[in-house]
Chains A and B, each alone.
Chain A
Amino acid sequence: MMEKSRRSFLKVAGIAAIGLGAAPAMNFAALDSNGPALPVKKKNENALHAKRWGMVIHIDKVTDKIAKKISNACHIQHNVPDFTHEVDTQKFPDIRPVNPDQEIKWLWKEKFHYAFPDKGDEFLAEKFEHLPFMVLCNHCKDAPCVQACPTQATFSREDGIVLMDFHRCIGCRFCMAACPYGSRSFNFRDPRPFIAQIDPDFPVRSKGVVEKCNLCAERLAKGELPHCVEASEGALVVGDLEDPESEVRKLLKEHYSIRRKQSLGTEPSVYYIV
C-alpha cells in the first residue's frame, strides 16, 4: 500500500483544481471561435415603423358609399363574421338562430351623437346629423383594456398599437367592460359559418375570444398600409404621431380635429378632422 503524505495529497489536489478551472475557459474559447450560430428573429426589411401609430379621418371625405367600402375591406380580409350572411346548411347543419346583439365589428360607421356623446351641442351644425363617422379601436396611449386584461392577451405594443394575442384570450370580457368606445366584440359562437369566404392570410377566431381592430399590424409588418386606408380614397391616413414631419402630424397642424371621449384621459390615437 502506498503511503499518503500531506505533500503528495496537496500536489494532486492542486493539479485537480487547475483542471477544474481550465474546463470552462476552454469551452468558452471553443464557443468563441467556431461554436454554433444562434438563430435570429428580425423584422421584414420593408416593414413600416413608427414611434406611435395613429390615424386621421377626414370626415368630409367619407360618404356612405366609401364608409361601406372601408368596413367591408376590413371585415372581409380579417375574416370578421357577418351574421346577415346566409349559412350553408349543408356544411353547417343545426345552426341556432342569430342574435343581432352579438354582432362582431372592427370598423363601422356610427352617428355623430353616438360616437361623440359629450360633443352633442344643442344647436349642432346640421351636417353632423348625417355624416357617417367611422369608428374603430382608438389604440389609446393609456388603454383601459390593457389594464383590465388579466392574462395580458391585450397589450400595448412598442409602436403604440393596442394589440391582441388571440391565443391567450380567455374570454373574460373585462376589456369590453373597460373600453369606453365599444370597440371590442365577443365571439359568442363559432364565427366560421358566417364567413362567406375565408381569407387564408389571416386567422379566424374561435368561440369565446374577444376581437377588435389591430390597425393591420400584419400588413404594416409587410410594408403595406392598412386595408381601410387603401379603401378609403384618401379619407383615412395613418402615420407616426410622434414624428412632427409625418403626414398625420401635418394634417393635424393644419386642421381642427376632435377625438372621442377625450376627457376620459385614455389619449386616443384616432383623430377626426371635422
Chain B
Amino acid sequence: MTNKWIVTGLAVFVLAVLSPFWFNMVTTTQAAPEPELLGPAKEARKCVLDKYEMRANHMSLLDEWRDAVVRDADRIYVAANGKSFHMSLSTGENSCLGCHEDKEKFCDSCHTYTSVNPYCWECHTNPKEIE
C-alpha cells in the first residue's frame, strides 16, 4: 500500500513542479520582438556602441550620459567608432530619438515584452507626441 501512495505522490509532485512547462505548452508564447531599424538609423547603421553591447548595456550608457550632461556640462559623445552624438534622449537630430524616429518600436516594444518600466518619458518628451 505504502509504495502505491508514494508513487502517486511523486507523480503529483512532478506534475505540479513542472506546471510552468505544461502551461507554456498549452498557451502560445509571444516571440521576442525584433528590433527594427527605421529612417536615419537604417541608413547610418552605426550606433553609439556595437549592437550587442548596446542591447546589453544601453541603460548604463544612458546613466553615464546623464551624469556627464547634468554634472560636467559635457554634451557631445565621441564614440569609440569615431562618430559623435548629442547626449540626449530626444532633443536634436543627433540624439537617440533623433535617429531612431519611432519610439514605439525603438524603446517600447522590447520594454513591454520584458516588463520593464523605465520612467524616462514621465519627464522627457518625445517630440512626435506633441500635437
Instruction: Report which A residues bind B (CB closer than 8 A).
Output: 36-44, 47, 155, 157-159, 163, 165-167, 197-201, 203-206, 217, 220-221
Contact = CB atoms under 8 A, between A and B. Distances in A.
Contact of B76 (A44, A199, A205): A44
B80 A38 contact: yes
Given A36-B80, A206-B119, A217-B73, A41 B125 contact: no
A26 to B, nearest CB: 22
A157 B73 contact: yes
Interface in B61-94: 66, 68, 70-80, 82, 87, 90-91
Contacts of B80: 36-39
Contacts of B40: none
Contact of A200 (B75, B79, B87, B127): B127
Given A166-B123, A206-B122, A39 B77 contact: yes
Interface of B: 66, 68, 70-80, 82, 87, 90-91, 119, 122-127, 130
B123 A200 contact: no
A168 to B, nearest CB: 9
Given A37-B82, A200-B91, A157 B71 contact: yes
Contacts of B76: 41-44
8 contacts: A37-B82, A42-B76, A44-B75, A197-B130, A200-B127, A203-B123, A204-B124, A217-B73
A41 B87 contact: yes
B98 to A, nearest CB: 11
Contact of B125 (A155, A200, A220): A200
A198 B123 contact: no
Given A39-B79, A40-B78, A205-B123, A167 B66 contact: yes
**Chain B interface secondary structure, helix, strand, loop or mixed?**
loop
A203 B71 contact: no
A32 B73 CA distance: 30
Given A47-B73, A155-B71, A198-B130, 6 more contacts: A37-B80, A43-B74, A199-B125, A200-B130, A203-B123, A203-B124
A42 B125 contact: no
Nearest to A161: B73
Contact of A198 (B77, B79, B91, B125): B125
A200 B75 CA distance: 17
A41 B77 contact: yes
A215 to B, nearest CB: 12
B82 to A, nearest CB: 7
Contacts of A198: 125, 130
A162 B122 CA distance: 24
B73 A43 contact: yes
B50 to A, nearest CB: 11
Contacts of A40: 77-78
The 7 closest A-B pairs by CB, nearest first: A200-B127, A41-B74, A203-B123, A200-B125, A40-B78, A206-B122, A165-B70
